[in-house]
Amino acid sequence: MSQVDMVNKEFLGLGPEVSGLKKKLLETAGLVEKSVRLSGDLFLGKSVSEGLIKEIFQIEALVNSAHKDIDQECMRILAMAPVASDLRKIMAALKVNGDLERISDQSVNVAQNYDKLDGHMNASQAFQIRKMSEITNLMICSALDALGSGDVDKAKKVIEMDDSLDTLNSQAFRNAIDGIKEDSSQAELGITLILIARNFERIGDHATNISEEVIFTTTGEDIRHAGGN
């Protein structure tokens, strides 16, 4: 998703009467997407981590502020007694707003832990984290695309992708433990890898939540907790 693509789309099916909400959600989604991308870029071997980390923190402050504004705007719209179909969309907007805010928190967590990893990972560890970051990025882009277009198939694909992220997360956990058992001086590195892998896995969960909202808003089907989560 690029913000340009999104502007002409009916984000969550929200019509022009709620253009303020739509605009704010769009902006926030764009920020959050960027935040996740930057948290992944940290692992691309670029030598600009300081700037990236600073930007992730700056984005979080903007997202936190938008989180409150969007909640308030939803309440203002709800006070105008929207029709039932719009009501469902506003409810979805409220929940997506919460997910966006938490995704940004997870990116910050990755950034906070990054300095413990920088330069210490072996090739296999770096590959694993990059792979998780790539899938996470793809899930977020696709979920936000689906949010813009109401594309249920795309939303379902995001949910499917979550399984591979869970598998990678479990692998990262096992590999880190094995690594630490071989060389206990690697304890901090291994644990940091586990925590960062969990951050990416958590971002994937939020992309799944957003996709479930797209499916609910578009089809009326509430598929949350279908996997017992």
Given 74, 103, 197, 214, the residue binding a second copy (CB under 8 A) = 74
Residues 190-229, mask of contacts with a second copy (x by CB under 8 A): xx--x---------------------------x-xx--xx
Amino acid letter for position 80 = M
16 lies in the site for a second copy, by CB under 8 A: no
Given 4, 8, 81, 153, the residue binding a second copy (CB under 8 A) = 81
Among 212, 195, 219, which residue's Cα sits nearest to residue 114?
195
Given 8, 79, 123, 220, the residue binding a second copy (CB under 8 A) = 79
* DSSP letter string, 121-138: --HHHHHHHHHHHHHHHH
- Within the chain, residue ranges assigned H as helices are 3-7, 19-41, 49-78, 84-114, 123-149, 152-182, 187-219
The values of phi and psi at residue 183, to 5°, are -150, 100
- Residues 27-66 contacting a second copy, CB under 8 A: 60-61, 64-65
Given 46, 75, 118, 221, the residue binding a second copy (CB under 8 A) = 75
How many chain residues are in contact with a second copy, going by CB under 8 A?
Answer: 40
* Token reading at 63: 């997202």
| 172 contacts 198 by C-beta, under 8 angstroms | no
The values of phi and psi at residue 62, to 5°, are -65, -40
Given 5, 68, 134, 160, the residue binding a second copy (CB under 8 A) = 68
Given the rule CB under 8 A, which residues bind a second copy? 60-61, 64-65, 67-68, 71-72, 74-75, 78-79, 81, 84, 87-88, 91, 94-95, 98, 105, 173, 176-177, 180-185, 187-188, 190-191, 194, 222, 224-225, 228-229
